[in-house]
Structure 1
Amino acid sequence: MNEASPADHGPLSFEATLAKSFFLRDVPTLRAGVATLAPPVMFSRLTNDRSQPGRSLAPGSEEAFIFQVPLIANPDPDIRYSGKPTARSTDAGKPGWCCLLDLRDGPTRRLDKPFDNVRLYISQRTIDEFVYQKGRRRIHGLVQQGFGEWDPVLFRFSQTLVPILERPGEVNSLLVDALAIAFCEHVVARYGASVPSGPVHRPGLAPWQMQRIVDFFEANLNGNPSILDLASQCDLSASYFAEAFKQTTGISPHQWLLRRRIEHAKSQLRGTDASLAAIAADCGFFDQSHFSRVFVRLVGCRPKDWRLRNRSR
């Protein structure tokens, strides 16, 4: 009797599909919605410390691209498109050398050597909407001059993602969204298959838009809003909103939200006997440790010490 196919048990999640393709136990992944009508940008880490024969399974064909960024040396990953070898740089498996793969052509790699890669996914629909929001020419895909290219920006970006991917459930959505927008900016500028027009200088947020954001933040201090949630309050696209917000306030939405949470926490530290854990939860921090780290970074002392010095009498 044939084994049951995955379809017999319903469609696999993105992480489960990746894990199955590379014969891994799990694939931690972060998602960020930067375009309302397009798939999210996705950042994953694929780690295998054991050798096994064979190759990865070819992904389903789609108009999308991935950047494979090695964190450790992985000599000769033998990337193939539709089963055919590709001409590639001899440095393609070195840390910092990023390989751009087109998912329309079923890329696979060898699995008989340990590897540790960050996988950065972006769809053509996301690229289309992103450049449209920026007022630039349409980009017909992403291209590399050679197969495998030194990209210190994506390498450092991938290293930054590693500790975040280790605890994805504790990450603020606005931080991930900001990283995704920066990723889109970089790959469109460096790998876009057409010459974009000059950047469009956007105005800041109108007073009514800024007031909506203030009200939304105040009502959701203990939530985890995304950049799309905020942009929808102003009837703007995600990338347009992020740029206009920073021009208006001088900081990113993520940084602004953290500061509002700290101000709210100060009022509770000053005027209540609530525990630090309770204040952390009420102000939207993941736990007391997270609250304390952010408080020290922004205020310069621990919440307990600040309370002692500023307690209402």
Structure 2
Amino acid sequence: MAQAGVYGRRLGQPLQLKHAPSLITRSLRSDALAVTEIRNDNPVRDLSGSLPADDAYLVSLKFRDYDDCECWEDGRCITKSNIRSGATYLYDLKRDPRYVIDKPFHSVFFYLPRSALDDIARQSRARRIDELGYEPGIGHDDGVIRHLSAVLLEALRRPEEVNQLFVDHVMLAFSAHVARTYGGLHSVTAPARGGLAAWQARQACERLEADLRGKIPLKQIAAEFDLSVSHFSRAFRVSTGLPPHQWLLQQRVKVAKQLMAVIDLPLSEIAIAAGFANQSHFTRVFSAAVGISPALWRREMYRVPNIET
């Protein structure tokens, strides 16, 4: 299936990149949302190519300063400004945003289609967002975007370890934040605060536990209860105390502990059986959750000899 949105290769090529890793979610009833890492340490001086026209925005967090950036829209230079590391910039893909490439750059770009903004407004029972407010070349000090970008950058660099529930959760948070901060979204009514019904919570947990790899999209699980992703995620957290992706990580650790009771079962096999990408991924998550490595936990719990590290 051809890629429709402006992310991954379709974003990277006009910026002189052959490889542009991306993560994608379809957690809203809209076109795909995506985040792409863009980095070029040795660019060729030129005006960037035109990005595919789209009724969508790019929201970008910069990891490098970029002095005297010549910004273009609709075929003409509109401003020249100093781009600052850590700042957030917005681009309207209907306006053919481009810039002069003449120095190394490193950013993440979030792709946010109009259909996603419309869906967020419907879920919030709010008025439709007209346009996002921004000035070309003017950055925003946005701590939320900085945090989400740092978290997703780690995921982009370890795609084999990515939990789709986590990507869905973070991208939903990103979309809601942008709608409120730059689109002026105001809910007509306060969101429901209650949790899932007991049978819904039980069924949702069973559904998640049946796929420890976390490949089932939140959208699919929420649809089984005829709920939006945002409503389901909020209600699930009220019922269980954790958002779905963190609850699933907790279950992985629980299953791994049970499997480690089988003393001659290698940690590499336990890692895969418990839904981790590999032993390194298992060790990193387990150590963060429990405070010690799986091998040390097993030795202390079952008094077994040091057969693995």
With structure 2 as the length reference, what TM-score do the two structures score?
0.89
| CA offsets 1:254-282 (integer angstroms, 9 cap, x no match) | 11001111111111112453211111101
Change (3 A) 1:132 1:221: same
Q: 1:26 aligns with which of 13, 19, 30?
A: 19
Equivalent pair of 1:212/1:234 in contact (CA under 8 Å): no
CA contact (8 A) 2:70 2:79 kept: no
Name the count of aligned residue pairs.
301
Match of 1:305 among 289, 296, 300: 296
Cα shift at 1:296: 1.7
Q: How high is the sequence identity, in percent, across the aligned residues?
A: 31
Shift of 1:241: 1.0
2:55 corresponds to 1:55: no
Residue 172 of structure 1 aligns with an amino acid whose one-letter code is N
Instruction: Output the CA distance in 1 between the equivalents of 2:55 and 2:14.
Output: 18
Greater shift, 296-305 or 243-252, is seen at 296-305
Moved more, 116-125 or 139-148: 139-148
| Secondary structure, counterpart of 2:89 in structure 1 | strand
The yes-or-no answer on 1:246 pairing with 2:237 is yes
Alignment of 1:86 onto 2:72: no
Contact 1:280 1:291 in 2 (8 A): yes
1:186 maps to which of 168, 177, 187: 177
Residue 91 of structure 2: aligned partner: 101
Q: Aligned runs of 1:283-298 on 2, under 5 Å?
A: 283-298=274-289
* One-letter code aligned to 1:49: D
Give SS of 1:209's match.
Answer: helix
Q: Which has the higher strand share?
A: 2
**Secondary structure class of the residue paired with 1:295:** helix
1:235 partner SS? coil
Q: CA offsets, 1:81-100, max 9 Å, x none?
A: 12122246x34x11133221
Cα shift readout 1:26-67 (whole Å, capped 9, x = no counterpart) = 11111122213x112111111111231221111222110011
Q: Distance in 1 between matches of 2:158 and 2:257?
A: 27
Deviating above 6 A after TM superposition, structure 1's stretches of 4 or more consecutive aligned residues are none
1:101 offset after TM fit, Å? 0.8
- Aligned AA (2:164): S
- Specify the SS of the correspondent of 1:225: coil
Cα distance change, pair 255–101 in 1 and its aligned pair in 2 (3 A): same
Matched residue type, 2:273: D
Please say if 1:262 is aligned against 2:264: no
Q: Is the 8 A contact 2:37 2:109 kept in 1?
A: yes
For the Cα contact (< 8 Å) 2:27–2:217, is it kept in 1? no
Q: Is 1:158 matched with 2:149?
A: yes
Residues 95 and 155 of structure 1 are in contact (CA less than 8 Å); yes or no, is this contact kept in structure 2?
A: no
Cα distance between partner residues in 2 of 1:40 and 1:133: 17
Find the counterpart in structure 2 of residue 214 from structure 1.
205
Any residues of structure 2 matched to 1:115-194 within 5 Å, and which? Answer: 115-144=105-134, 147-153=137-143, 154-193=145-184
Please, which runs of 5 or more residues in structure 2 have no aligned partner?
305-309
Say if 1:270 and 1:312, in contact at 8 Å, map to a contact too: no
The 10-residue stretch of structure 1 (226-235 or 66-75) with the greater mean CA deviation from structure 2: 226-235
| Alpha-carbon displacement from aligned partner over 1:110-130 (angstroms, at most 9, x marks no partner) | 112211111111011011112
**Cα-Cα RMSD:** 2.3
Contact 2:164 2:214 in 1 (8 A): no
> Structure 1 stretches of 5 or more lacking a match?
1-9
Whether the 8 Å CA contact 1:271–1:312 is kept in 2: the answer is no
Between the aligned partners of 2:178 and 2:278, the Cα distance in structure 1 is 35
Distance 1:17 1:126 in 2: 19
**Cα distance, 1:238 vs. partner?**
1.0
Q: Matched residues in 2 for 1:100 and 1:199: separation?
A: 28
TM-superposed deviation, 1:217: 2.1
Change (3 A) 1:250 1:11: closer
Find the counterpart in structure 2 of residue 5 from structure 1: none
The one of 56, 66, 69 aligned to 1:64: 56
CA contact (8 A) 1:34 1:130 kept: no
User: C-alpha deviations, 1:149-188, integer Å up to 9, x for none?
Assistant: 3223223332333222222232111111121112112111
TM-score w.r.t. length of structure 1: 0.88
CA contact (8 A) 1:78 1:109 kept: yes
